[in-house]
Structure 1
Amino acid sequence: MNTRSELWAKQDGFDKTYPLLAHLLDTVTITGALYDHWLREGLRDLFRESLGDNAKSIVQCIAGLHDVGKASPLFQLRPSDKAQRWEKIRKTIEESGNYQDLGNTSIALNRSKDEARRHERLSAYASQPVLPSSRKPASQVWVHLVLGGHHGKFSAITKASDTKDLLEDLDYGGWTSAQHDLTDGVLTACRLNREDIPQKLDPTITLLLSGLIVLADRIASGEPFVDGGFTLLEEFPDILEHPHRWVTEREKEAESRVRTTVGIYSPWETEDAAKQAILGDYDPRPIQREALDAGDGLWSLMATTGSGKTEAALLRHSTRPERLIFLLPTQATSNAIMRRVQHAYRNTSNVAALAHGLASVEDFYQQPLSLYDDEAGQNPSENQTDKPSGLYPSSFVRAGAARLFAPVCVGTIDQALASALPGKWIHFRLLALANAHMVIDEVHTLDVYQTKLLEELLPWLVKTRTRVTFLTATMPSEQRQQLISAYSQAEEKLDSPIFPSIDVVTEGHTDSIPVDSLTASMTIDLRQTEYDSLVDAHVDWHTQVRRQFPTARLGIICNTVARAQETAQRIAENGETVLILHSRMTAEHRRQNAQQLLDLLGPNGTGTNITVVGTQAIEASLDIDLDFLNTEICPAPSLVQRAGRQWRRTDPQRKDRCPGEHQKTLTVTWFNSDQSWQYRPYLAAELKRTYEWLASHSQLIIPDNAQEFIDSAHVNFENALTELDMEALTEETLKLMRAESNRARITDALTDRASVGNFTALTTNNPADESTTRLIDEGSNGRFILGSLESTIPGAWHGTAEELLTLSSRDKATIREVLRASIPLSLPRNSQRKPRAKEEFIERLKAISLSESRSLLSGYYFVPDADQFYDSSIGFTGPLQNS
């Protein structure tokens, strides 16, 4: 066969060009390793059901054809590049005698034409020579979509006459013949004929295959694997004439390469080992026993705080050998759960990723990547004892959407919701979600915008038979109906929820299973004050309780950062030990304080005479135990969550810290106002309804009162009565409209009637921005690096802006150090009244833009001498736009 050895696929970073056929066969081999070792069994079943007994070979073949379009004059000849190496490449191609001179006016050499310049489109035409208009059924041109999308975007024909002229020139010039020869080489390697490739394919499989090819291409293109190909060519110069042998020779190396890049999931050795790792010596609780028996579908657990929901999710996960994606509402809660997941996996060996904007400053990434790093070209030893233990990072999955591909990924919910927004590589993200068990904790914290985005994702997870677990201590009935209906694909109205319970959704049917729960009663202590006196009320409460219980653990949760800071500062002035946690702190400051909280008040903490002050940052998934809690009025679901930080565990020392206290007291500080802005960041109507329920009850009993409490405080069209209710509904409706406008129409691309246009609508020129998964109404978030020469700011950068601008993406250790000084700040909106509000805010900080940086710091500002704006105890103090 003609291997077209004159054509190349890789040359950057190598002493010589790498043959195009070699790269195609490398991708075939890597795809085989991914299919056998990385894909979960459920996805392999889907491929087999759609493609038959030859499923694996067909998947490998299509992946191998992804770069056939590189056999084109514009890619191979680079006519505008006059460097000596290109003169040599062009001479080799010309002397092969296989190609005709097309002349400078040929459309095939016109860089302004996307059809000629984008080799992925030429790969699509070479393998399926049709002109796919937007209206063409996707099932009929699936090969075109899969191959044409491997650089991140699906595309349709734009100008048919140009495409026809291009294909005619390629045929005349001998390039079409080259593409045919390369295609034959891939088919031979996979032991297939052209007739074995099906004419039609279900759109769900098309999306899965599109993402898989992106992953295979990235791994096969890595320098270590290409180096292995060069070595094989040196040992067997004629091996490309035997494509199947090439694949056979490289299979073992391919598996090793997959293991060291994306990672291959390593489960616990036995069911008993999993239980021991997750529960220790404790027997499973009722919900945890249910988790062990859970099968396919959606498993939505609504149970009291502290009932072992996290462990239940991990136990459900342990019943299948598949990847885990564990998602939470905030960076702080993600960091906390990551530590618990690490503990559970301590006796396994798995690549893992912590996925959020400031993950690189966390302890997990302090492990040296060189220990077992794919970028260093180190492959895992065959000796099992040489493998790392527990969870460890890998360069391949350290950033961006690739983090979702780690065998164990813990991150913010934004990582998944970005997959519900149109963007480049959306099929790459969707594959990652489908090839895992996806756990979403604190589901109730999703607002209507985020819930709508999640609703768009759920049909995809159903189509791909992806196991999904929801965890929450609360969930409004309306949100429950919306999400379960999206997964079950049934419009029937659900029965009223039972609290606590598990909703099990499989094959369109929903069962609700009541579960046993310990009853927790708390006395409601409502304290009224004025809006301007909230801080005074908190300090007075603290003084009163501390006087009576000198060694108790006290907590105060405020709804704004400014009040939390002022409260903490005034209490500290009285000589109290205060720990504060909120969003306006450097990443290092938050990390230090969160760790101190866990050390003092966590499962093994023995802290006494301590006060915790914070915002919503300590509301969910932070495993701390307080004796007394004072919280500002907040929505009912959040209030239940906040109450869960109090008397969280059975603590024999509590009787010494709180003598005479036999039942916890939940103090709720509230105020009455007609000014909606004073209730921010929440809706005034929700807070007033929460107050009305609390005022009519002397106790909050969990689980007895939980669902009634949550639903009574939720505003909807049926119960809206007041002007504030209508204001809340208007705001929620606007968020829904934004979600409807912004979302990717994934569901439209999954139907039998899906068209090419439905696929192209999913992708844009830019990757989905994780920040757009949340609506920020009061200005936009800016990211800043705080500088200080005096070391008063935790984690501060001690260098200059010029030093930051010299950093590149290779300076990982230094960038990690810089990000310890990062902080998000709300930027004001420019308006007619204040047309330069944003710019003036930045000028007041004397902030320097790092937009010219060659690293991820390009999205940040640097604030030199930031000490004037920062207090080492309470965080950033100004200038502020929102309190």
Structure 2
Amino acid sequence: MGALWGKSAERAGGRKNLLLSHLLDTAAVAERMWDGFLAPSTRLVLDDIAGGPGKGRGFFAWLCGVHDYGKATPAFQRMWPEGAEAVRKAGLTWSDHLISRKPWRHDRAGAHLLCRDLSEAGWTEERIDWLWPLVAGHHGRFPSRRDIKPTSRAKGHLVGLGPWPVAQRALLTRFTAELGFEDVATPAPAGMPNRAVQLHLSGLIVMADWIASDEKHFGGVDDLRAVTFEAARGRAEKAWSALGMHRGWGSRAPVEPEAFQDRFGQAPRPSQTMVVEAARRMTVPGLLVVEAPMGEGKTKAALLAAEILAARFGADGVFVGMPTQATSDPMFGQVREWLGGIDEELPSRVALLHGKRMFNPEWRALVEGSEESDASRFGGVDEYGECPEDDPYGFGPEDRGDGTPSSSPGAGARGPAEWFLGAKRGLLCPFVVGTIDQLLLAATRTKHVMLRMAGLMGKVVVLDEVHAADVYMSQFLMEGLRWLGQAGVPVVLLSATLPPRQRQDLVSSYLAGALSREEYTADGLPEPGGYPSVTAAWPSARPEGTRGTEEVPEPRYLVEHSAGWRADLPVALDLLPEAVPPPHARREDREAAEEAAARSVADLLERELVDGGCALVIRNSVARAQRLHELLRGRYREKGEVHLLHGRLAVRDRADRTGECLRLLGPAGVEGAKPRPRRMILVATQLAEQSFDVDADLLVTDLAPVDLLLQRIGRSHRHAGVRRPARLAAPRVVVTGVDAVGSEPPRFPGASEGVYGRYPLLRSAALVRRAIEGSRDGSGDTAWRVPSQVPELVAAGYDPSDDSLPPAWREVAEAARRRWEDTERKRADRAAGSLLTRRGDREGSTLAGLHVAGRAESGGDATVEWLVRDGDPTVEVIVVVREGGVLHTLSGRALSVNGDVPDELLEDLLGGTVRLPSSLTEAAMEELRPLPAWFGHARLRYCPALVLDHGRGTALGKYEVDYDEELGLRQRVLTAG
């Protein structure tokens, strides 16, 4: 035991660390986590697993500490020559010839040894079966039972012959005794937790291991006499303090009725009271689905509901998931303000999670002075973007990449502890705001998925704009809800426009997890009787004395609606048809049609804004938006009247323009608000569709599926007290992007059909037609009543039995429906290959084999988008401009002669990051590389550069690419010759 090493001298501060020392260090860190990090709900579950109140802490420490038991094998001990020699001298030998070419990872070896030794100690097979995968998976993947066995060709030398079994059991016995247990049989759990709880515990084991592997705080101890649990506790306490680790809000007192007024400075609206009361009435953790119009105050209601649910069910923090990076930024500030009303220390514990967070000034100010920018510390990847496996010295690249490195400082200046800023750790921070991708990736069969899911469990999860998830993303969303339901995590879903089928699917997924069933359909779920509404679903409370493996009664539902905050607005619909060429038209004809369509919109705006006013035009593609803006800027010479916002702008340009639009057209209280302009036109893509709080006097929009069309309508006449020109005093929407909505089936531009599919567009066009025809002949509705009519319209837009389609359209629509459903089914099947659990395996009792045959294996933060968002992969590049042989940032600041980037220019350079369209991906991957001077730079070494000439253009593949100061990135097919 005094010879077995756990960390080599090179990886333990210059002196080897004995294996027993590392096991005790990890157990001591687990105690610190229990005392200062674990949610009350997690501690209660651990107490229950361990056999009663007060027993969970010791069991958790033992469980975390035993993770590296597999290092007590020849397969591991031979890997560091100096350590191997000492082990041989102690009488523990092996045949190098038999094991040198038969690697056996220590995580799998540990599982194998525990299966053997725990059985001999009297543990039941059921207890062993759920525990060994937690040890086998502590480096990120869960193997099957057969995969943990050593190859028979090594003839026992991998696991150890002769005195090896005695030494191994002595180590396990000594470790167990140091923790205060009588023998190895004593820590045996009393129960078997469900699989979601097992995944949670697995993530916590990884967290404890990574912290205990920090050589700065846990250096080498090579004298067995100095190895005690008390010494390990002292090291762990100092490390915990130095790292600045903290929990969320801990145990909460019940939330008082007046809390809404206290938190937000206003009395709750009826819909907000409805949501809050629904949270109070849930008897166990469950799901809340909040449906309310844009501007109703769903977010504030959800945050207070989260506070109530956390207090009632022992959650220690909140994750708020948003549809995009752009919507995450303002929510970050809102969550910090809310938490500040609870405790002035809490805002500093909020993490922002998305790839462009360093462009958020509030986040930058929080982490100023930290080393987040050092990818060598927090990237956790090698040159291939993958976490490597163990190296021969016991503290391998896997540990160096994902564990806290020796250079790790303590907490950031004013923000979350820096430990939480590392790769795959962000969700472990007590309070998190980020893109919904963070939750979606936690539902994938990827390496270290247990860390991500552990970061969600023990929190209340709030997801905004859930209707924005397409069929591909929805597979991951529903898989995540299954795991959260099984773990007993309270979840709040927010949406303005949710089709009934989607609502039922979301509830069914959560309940399938809560009831531990392969599939569950919430057939008894009532439909809301009005709008706004709340739908609550939760499993019935378990009878007294029952455990997690017993069947639970059927779920309970609470479905209510309330009056809206403001009266209905009658939104008049009009049509501006455009000539749509047939699908196989010549490129010249298509371009001519697009030019004519842009002119018709420009002419309309010229007429409608003759007396002033602010118009929002939403186009379904970047190219359509750029074409219209180019035409408009030729007509409106006055500076500041025409604005453009889309996804192919450099990140700084996009952030600046978004902020400027919010200051001009946003609510009166927005920071830096400016006087509303006399006349303004904002041309945008779908970026303006959700969580974009601007108010337009007139909306012109390409046709979209009806739920998204209603989202766009939510940007029109949104704010009270706005003075508008007389001709725009009533809300009006002009729909374009369709050739006609008459008796014959309409055609749509290829860009629209490519994004949404023909069938949803046909159903939306039929609803628009019905409103327009009714206004002409007086036979029907002359306007859409928003918001009260929203549920009815959304339901009609997705219900094949609805009769709104004209008879002449039905044959074409039926064929389109079959194609659309087939496409949707294929997209769902494509996602299924990466889901955390496979079909038929959702009632599994352990984590064994969870990663077997996993297609998605990397799981790095940088690969989130391609994995959980469907579509062709895209590439981000940094745009630089070559002028007179010298490279400049996109904003015009000169770099060094060799392209080196001084520190003061780094943020300016990164501000020129732009995402290329998918049509350029292949060429970009073949032709673009980081600049030579960037290869040694932590934040730039993986960033390809797009070098433009003095005219701001270049050739890329078969395209000519340029970056226009106003239009952003453009591409054209290179002409022959």
What TM-score results when the alignment is normalised by the length of structure 2? 0.77
Could you tell me how far apart the structure 2 residues matched to 1:316 and 1:456 are? 23
1:870 to 2:963 alignment: yes
Aligned to 1:502: 534
Could you tell me how far apart the structure 1 residues matched to 2:298 and 2:22 are? 46
Could you tell me how far apart the structure 1 residues matched to 2:971 and 2:50 are? 61
1:144 to 2:160 alignment: no
Unpaired runs of 5+ residues, structure 2, are: 372-403, 513-519, 540-554, 581-592, 740-745, 772-781, 804-809, 954-961
Aligned to 1:83: none
Aligned to 1:771: 865
Equivalent position to 2:186, from 191, 196, 214? 196
Aligned to 1:520: 568
Residue pair 2:108, 2:148 contacting (<8 A) in 1 also: no
Q: Please state how far the C-alpha of 1:847 moved relative to its aligned partner.
A: 3.4
Aligned to 1:328: 322
> Secondary structure of 1:528's match?
coil
Could you tell me how far apart the structure 2 residues matched to 1:595 and 1:268 are? 36
Q: Please state how far the C-alpha of 1:745 moved relative to its aligned partner.
A: 1.1
Q: Please state how far the C-alpha of 1:147 moved relative to its aligned partner.
A: 0.6
> Secondary structure of 2:945's match?
strand
1:65 to 2:135 alignment: no
Equivalent position to 2:787, from 678, 703, 706? 703
Residue pair 2:142, 2:850 contacting (<8 A) in 1 also: no
Q: Please state how far the C-alpha of 1:581 moved relative to its aligned partner.
A: 1.6
1:246 to 2:231 alignment: yes
> Secondary structure of 1:191's match?
coil
Aligned to 1:833: none
Residue pair 1:328, 1:442 contacting (<8 A) in 2 also: yes
Equivalent position to 2:752, from 652, 674, 679? 679
Shift in alpha-carbon separation, 1:815–1:181, aligned structure 2, 3 A: farther
Letter in 1 for 2:792: E
Aligned to 1:626: 696
Single out whichever of 410-419 and 399-408 deviates more from structure 2.
399-408
Shift in alpha-carbon separation, 1:23–1:813, aligned structure 2, 3 A: farther
Residues 30-78 of structure 1 deviation map (CA, whole Å, 9 limit, x = unaligned):
2122233322222222222222232221121011011122233453443
Single out whichever of 288-297 and 165-174 deviates more from structure 2.
165-174
Aligned to 1:848: 929
> Secondary structure of 1:470's match?
strand
> Secondary structure of 1:194's match?
coil
Could you tell me how far apart the structure 2 residues matched to 1:242 and 1:848 are? 52
Q: Please state how far the C-alpha of 1:158 moved relative to its aligned partner.
A: 4.0
Shift in alpha-carbon separation, 1:420–1:187, aligned structure 2, 3 A: same
Q: Following superposition of structure 1 onto structure 2, how do residues 154-553 of structure 1 map, counting pairs within 5 Å?
A: 154-156=142-144, 157-158=146-147, 162=151, 165=154, 167=156, 170-172=159-161, 174-192=163-181, 193-198=183-188, 201-202=192-193, 203-226=195-218, 240-243=226-229, 245-250=230-235, 252-253=237-238, 255-256=240-241, 259-260=244-245, 264-265=248-249, 275=260, 278-279=263-264, 281-293=265-277, 294=279, 295=282, 296-319=285-308, 320=310, 322-346=316-340, 347-349=344-346, 350-367=348-365, 369=367, 371=369, 392-489=415-512, 490-493=520-523, 494-498=525-529, 499-507=531-539, 508-517=555-564, 518-521=566-569, 522-531=571-580, 532=593, 533-548=596-611, 550=612, 552-553=613-614
Letter in 2 for 1:711: A
Residues 283-341 of structure 1 deviation map (CA, whole Å, 9 limit, x = unaligned):
12223223433143111100000001111121122232522111111121122322322
Letter in 2 for 1:172: L
Equivalent position to 1:819, from 898, 905, 910? 910
Residue pair 2:458, 2:489 contacting (<8 A) in 1 also: yes
Could you tell me how far apart the structure 1 residues matched to 2:832 and 2:800 are? 19
Could you tell me how far apart the structure 1 residues matched to 2:610 and 2:151 are? 83
How many residue pairs get aligned? The number is: 825
Residues 604-651 of structure 1 deviation map (CA, whole Å, 9 limit, x = unaligned):
333313322111111111222222221111111111111112222212
Could you tell me how far apart the structure 1 residues matched to 2:892 and 2:352 are? 23
Aligned to 1:383: none
Could you tell me how far apart the structure 2 residues matched to 1:66 and 1:159 are? 14
Letter in 1 for 2:290: L
Residue pair 1:685, 1:715 contacting (<8 A) in 2 also: no
Q: Please state how far the C-alpha of 1:28 moved relative to its aligned partner.
A: 0.9
Could you tell me how far apart the structure 2 residues matched to 1:91 and 1:841 are? 51
Shift in alpha-carbon separation, 1:69–1:842, aligned structure 2, 3 A: closer
Q: Please state how far the C-alpha of 1:559 moved relative to its aligned partner.
A: 0.7
Shift in alpha-carbon separation, 1:297–1:123, aligned structure 2, 3 A: same
Residue pair 1:139, 1:752 contacting (<8 A) in 2 also: no
Aligned to 1:736: 828
Single out whichever of 602-611 and 321-330 deviates more from structure 2.
602-611
Could you tell me how far apart the structure 2 residues matched to 1:678 and 1:170 are? 61
Could you tell me how far apart the structure 2 residues matched to 1:139 and 1:271 are? 39
Letter in 2 for 1:327: G
> Secondary structure of 1:583's match?
coil
Residue pair 1:69, 1:179 contacting (<8 A) in 2 also: no
Could you tell me how far apart the structure 1 residues matched to 2:93 and 2:150 are? 22
Could you tell me how far apart the structure 1 residues matched to 2:836 and 2:116 are? 28
* Identity percentage of aligned residues: 23
Shift in alpha-carbon separation, 1:480–1:30, aligned structure 2, 3 A: same
Letter in 1 for 2:945: F
> Secondary structure of 2:690's match?
coil
Q: Following superposition of structure 1 onto structure 2, how do residues 572-587 of structure 1 map, counting pairs within 5 Å?
A: 572-573=633-634, 574-576=636-638, 577=640, 578-587=642-651
Supply the RMSD in Å over aligned alpha carbons: 3.6
Residue pair 2:528, 2:534 contacting (<8 A) in 1 also: no
Shift in alpha-carbon separation, 1:356–1:754, aligned structure 2, 3 A: same
Aligned to 1:648: 718
Could you tell me how far apart the structure 1 residues matched to 2:793 and 2:892 are? 44
Unpaired runs of 5+ residues, structure 1, are: 80-85, 381-386, 829-836
Shift in alpha-carbon separation, 1:314–1:369, aligned structure 2, 3 A: same
Aligned to 1:834: none
Residue pair 2:625, 2:683 contacting (<8 A) in 1 also: yes
Aligned to 1:607: 676
Residue pair 1:421, 1:742 contacting (<8 A) in 2 also: yes
Residue pair 2:29, 2:212 contacting (<8 A) in 1 also: yes
1:26 to 2:25 alignment: yes
Residue pair 2:445, 2:850 contacting (<8 A) in 1 also: no
1:669 to 2:712 alignment: no
Could you tell me how far apart the structure 2 residues matched to 1:439 and 1:3 are? 50
Q: Following superposition of structure 1 onto structure 2, how do residues 589-608 of structure 1 map, counting pairs within 5 Å?
A: 589-603=653-667, 604=669, 605=673, 606-608=675-677
Residue pair 2:118, 2:184 contacting (<8 A) in 1 also: no
Shift in alpha-carbon separation, 1:838–1:351, aligned structure 2, 3 A: closer
Aligned to 1:102: 94
Equivalent position to 2:114, from 104, 112, 127? 127
Residue pair 1:474, 1:710 contacting (<8 A) in 2 also: yes
Residue pair 2:247, 2:316 contacting (<8 A) in 1 also: no
Could you tell me how far apart the structure 2 residues matched to 1:820 and 1:486 are? 40
Could you tell me how far apart the structure 1 residues matched to 2:942 and 2:848 are? 35
Could you tell me how far apart the structure 1 residues matched to 2:252 and 2:676 are? 34
Q: Please state how far the C-alpha of 1:408 moved relative to its aligned partner.
A: 1.9
> Secondary structure of 1:367's match?
helix
